[in-house]
């Protein structure tokens, strides 16, 4: 198996199925990591939308300037602000993984955080 250096998990290990080779069934890979710990809490972007789509869309429009469930071009500072407002509490964003829903090929993101 050939690994692509860009695609690593939260521990820094290469993933077996990189997005470049498996665009519709890739393994989760790290997009952002800062002060991350395996004990941090996590939430998936698609669940946030599922739990309260109106709040999700309103906050996306307010913070990112658009709606939508794609977080690939959104900055960690903005995502942290989004999560703080979504959960109505102060959090510290510690990690982001891009994941793939293998049943439909669409991406979603896992956000790791600590409550402050």
Give the list of residues 6+ apart from residue 39 with CB closer than 8 angstroms, or none: none
Please tell me the predicted confidence (pLDDT) of residue 2: 43
DSSP 94-108: EEEEEEE-TTT--EE
Tens of pLDDT, residues 70-97: 999 999 999 999 999 999 999 999 999 9
Please tell me the predicted confidence (pLDDT) of residue 6: 83
Contact 91, 115 (CB under 8 A): yes
Please tell me the predicted confidence (pLDDT) of residue 3: 43
Q: What distances in angstroms separate CA 25 from CA 17, 32, 45, 85, 106, one per listed residue?
A: 8, 20, 18, 31, 9
Query: Is this prediction's pTM over 0.85?
Result: yes
Tens of pLDDT, residues 56-67: 999 999 999 999
């Amino acid at each position: 198996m050939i690994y692509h250096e860009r695609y690593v998990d939260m521990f820094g290990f290469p993933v077996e199925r990189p997005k470049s080779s498996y665009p519709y069934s890739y393994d989760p890979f790290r997009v952002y990591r800062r002060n991350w710990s395996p004990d941090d809490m996590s939430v998936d972007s698609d669940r946030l939308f599922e739990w309260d789509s109106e709040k999700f869309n309103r906050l996306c429009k307010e913070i990112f300037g658009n709606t939508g469930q794609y977080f690939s071009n959104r900055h960690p500072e903005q995502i942290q602000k989004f999560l703080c407002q979504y959960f109505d509490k102060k959090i510290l964003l510690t990690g982001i993984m891009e994941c793939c829903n293998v049943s439909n090929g669409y991406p979603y993101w896992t956000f790791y955080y600590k409550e402050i």
